[in-house]
Amino acid sequence: MIPFLYFETEIVSHMKVDPFIEKGEIKTFRTRNHRFISTLAVKVVSGSDKKALIIDGSAKIDPYWMVRICKKLGLEEDEILTKILLCRGFTAYQLRDMVGKAEEIVKNDDSIIFVGLIDLSSRFLEDLDGEEGTWLRARCVKKLRNLVLNRDIYCAVADPYVEIFESKLGGEIYGEKCANLQGGTR
C-alpha cells in the first residue's frame, strides 16, 4: 500500500515514485506550489547516484522544504541536496534559455534522471503579449516533451496554466490537491 502524499502542509512518511510517475512521461499539476516537485526530486535521487534538475519560474522554491522531507524520510540532507540542481528564471526569456540549457545538460550528463518545472507559464502569459508568450511557451513545452521522451527520464510540472501541457502532451492533469497515489483524493 502506498500512503498519501499531500503538499498543502505535510508529507506523510514514505512515498514511492513508481507507479505514480513513470519515465518518459510528464505529470502535470495545476498549482504554483513547489512542494510536490521538490518532494519528487528528493525521492528520485535518494538511494541512487542520479541527479534531479528543477527549473523554477516562481522564484519560490524552498530548499528548507527539501531538508524537511529528507529528515522525515531519514535521509542525509547534504547527500540529497548535492544531487538536486536548481535554477531560477525571473523573465520569460530566462526560462526559455533554461529549458534549452536543460536539454543540453541532460544530453551531456547521464546521471540526470528527473526534470521538474515550477510555474513555467506565468512569465510567458503574464509578462509578454499574448501571441509572443504563447508561442515561446509552446516551444519550451515541445523541447521538454522531446527531452523527456528521448532521454527516458522522469518529469513533473507544477503550473497554474496546464492546458498547453494537456493539449501538447496528452495525459492527466492533477488539481491543487495531490491525488492519492492509488487513485483517490485526499
**Total number of domains in the chain:** 1
* 109 found inside a domain: yes
Give the up-direction half-sphere exposure of residue 74: CA atoms within 13 A in the CB hemisphere.
3
How does the average pLDDT of the chain come out, rounded? 78
Any idea what the CATH number is for the domain that residue 156 is in? Answer: 3.40.50.300
Instruction: Judge whether 185 lies within some domain.
Output: no
> What pLDDT shows up at residue 69?
92
Buried b (16+ CB within 10 A) or exposed e, 14-44: ebebeebbeeebbbbbbbbbbbbbbbbbbbb
Q: Report whether pLDDT(52) > 90.
A: yes
Q: What is the mean pLDDT of residues 130-134?
A: 84
pLDDT category, 180, cuts 50, 70, 90? Answer: very low
According to the model, what pLDDT value does residue 55 have?
Answer: 94
Q: Which of 8, 9, 3 is nearest to 43 (CA)?
A: 3
Per-residue pLDDT averaged across 96-118, rounded? 90
Check whether 49 has a pLDDT greater than 60: yes
Residue 104 lies in a domain: yes
**Which range marks the domain in which residue 136 is found?**
26-174
Looking at the domain assignment, is residue 55 inside a domain?
A: yes
Beta bridge partners of 56: 88, 118
* Best-predicted range by mean pLDDT (5-9, 73-77, 137-141, 161-165): 73-77
pLDDT at residue 25, as a whole number: 83
